[in-house]
Amino acid sequence: MATIRQFGYQVSKDRQIDYDNNSRNLIRKVLEKEPSLNNCISCGTCAATCSAALYTDFSLRRLILLVRRGETESLKKETAKCMLCGKCQLVCPRGVSTRHLILQIRYQLQESGQKTEF
């Protein structure tokens, strides 16, 4: 009987983004209050200089992508990691008002009834 060799590879978890079922409510409300979000080009400069990233796996770039995709479930824990130090705002090449953006995401999550950890 042939033995199956284990090479340490496995099938990756499905990462399909279901835009049809994802809600656009959060980004709509956040954009009303912080339209500079539209200027974000996902360059990652904010994530590269982030104070919270020194101690956690927080990435503002990823947070913005999740908000744009309408994947709001994982935002609960993510937003709590930001220390609101404002470094990202100083380096953003597109002038995104990042601190206000993060505060708005937190606020809108609370308003929508999602339990947040801050």
* Contact footprint for ligand SF4 (CB under 6 A): 40-46, 50-52, 60-61, 82-88, 92, 94, 96, 98-99
73-92 burial, b at 16+ Cβ within 10 Å, e below that, comes to eebeebbebbeeeeebbeeb
| Cβ-based nearer residue to ligand SF4, 76 or 99 | 99
| Cβ-based nearer residue to ligand SF4, 40 or 72 | 40
What are the Cα distances from residue 102, in Å, to 10, 19, 29, 44?
Answer: 36, 22, 13, 15
| Cβ-based nearer residue to ligand SF4, 72 or 79 | 79
**Any idea how long the chain is?**
118
The radius of gyration of the chain's CA atoms, rounded to the nearest angstrom, is 17
At its nearest, how many Å lie between ligand SF4 and the CB of residue 99? 5
Burial of 99 (0-12, 13-18, 19+ CB in 10 A): middle
| Cβ-based nearer residue to ligand SF4, 46 or 67 | 46
At its nearest, how many Å lie between ligand SF4 and the CB of residue 27? 14
At its nearest, how many Å lie between ligand SF4 and the CB of residue 63? 8
